[in-house]
Amino acid sequence: MRKLREEDPRRLFVMHLAGIILAMMLTGGAAAGPLEDAWTAYQRGDYATAFKLWRPRAEQGVALAQNNLGLMYYDGQGVPQDYVEAAKWYRLAAEQGNANAQSNLASMYFGGLGVPQDYVRAYMWVSLAASGFPPSAKEDREQALRHRDIVASNMTAAQITDAQKLAREWKPKPAAP
């Protein structure tokens, strides 16, 4: 039989943990963070707030925020439409392995928007996106594969080989500290 002193810290810990879980359940989870608040603002069309919340995180190297800034610049939502700026943010997120940003950057290379038109780079990025989407994002993966086929239809066999090699050799960059 354990002494009361040995049981008390464990019991207090379990009770404390249960209280935290109960509080989260009653409040719908922890308070939303800046990224979630930015997404909520973006969805309701409050682009100024979304930009204000995403920009510092993007500058800190948060790939999700970088991709979302790219979206804002691409569409001119709350900022002047600027394909060069969109490509910059997409690239920063894509280089960290963000599949959405990789797909977005591929589209920019395919269309020559903000970057020189480059089917090899487009194919490379959309291939990486297709392999980077998690299994739960089946539709995104399938769409990326369809886009890769569209890009490939504009390429020579040698260009496809070059793009496949670039994709195989690609390594994600760590987020900025």
Residues 36-95 pLDDT 10s: 999 999 999 999 999 999 999 999 999 999 999 999 999 999 999 999 999 999 999 999
**Confidence (pLDDT) at 4:** 34
Rounded Cα–Cα distance for residues 156 and 36 (Å) = 43
**DSSP letter (8 states) at residue 46:** -
Residue with tokens 């993007």: 58
**Are 142 and 163 members of one domain?**
yes
**DSSP letter (8 states) at residue 81:** -
Rounded Cα–Cα distance for residues 175 and 177 (Å) = 6
H-helix segments, the chain: 4-27, 34-43, 47-59, 63-75, 83-94, 99-111, 119-132, 138-152, 157-169
Question: Which range marks the domain in which residue 41 is found?
Answer: 33-169
Whether 139 is in a domain gets the answer: yes
Rounded Cα–Cα distance for residues 30 and 118 (Å) = 44
Whether 176 is in a domain gets the answer: no
**Are 130 and 145 members of one domain?**
yes
Three-state DSSP state, 69: helix
Comparison of pLDDT for 88 and 8, the residue scoring more: 88
Residue with tokens 């050799």: 169
Q: Grade residue 28 by pLDDT with cuts at 50, 70 and 90.
A: very low
Q: What would the two tokens of residue 126 be? A: 């959309």
Cβ neighbors of 121 (< 8 A, separation 6 or more) are: 106, 109, 115, 163, 166
Q: Grade residue 145 by pLDDT with cuts at 50, 70 and 90.
A: very high
Three-state DSSP state, 95: coil
Comparison of pLDDT for 173 and 28, the residue scoring more: 173
Residue type, 153: S
**Confidence (pLDDT) at 6:** 40
> Using alpha carbons only, how large is the chain's radius of gyration in Å?
22
Whether 13 is in a domain gets the answer: yes
Q: Is the pLDDT of residue 159 over 90?
A: yes
- The number of domains in the chain is 2
**Are 3 and 47 members of one domain?**
no
Task: Tell me the mean pLDDT in the region 151-176.
Answer: 95
Quick check: pTM over 0.85? Answer: no
| Residue from 101, 173, 99 nearest 136 by CA | 99
Task: Tell me the mean pLDDT in the region 94-106.
Answer: 98
* Least confident among 4-8, 84-88, 123-127, 132-136: 4-8
Cβ neighbors of 81 (< 8 A, separation 6 or more) are: 73, 74, 75
**Confidence (pLDDT) at 157:** 98
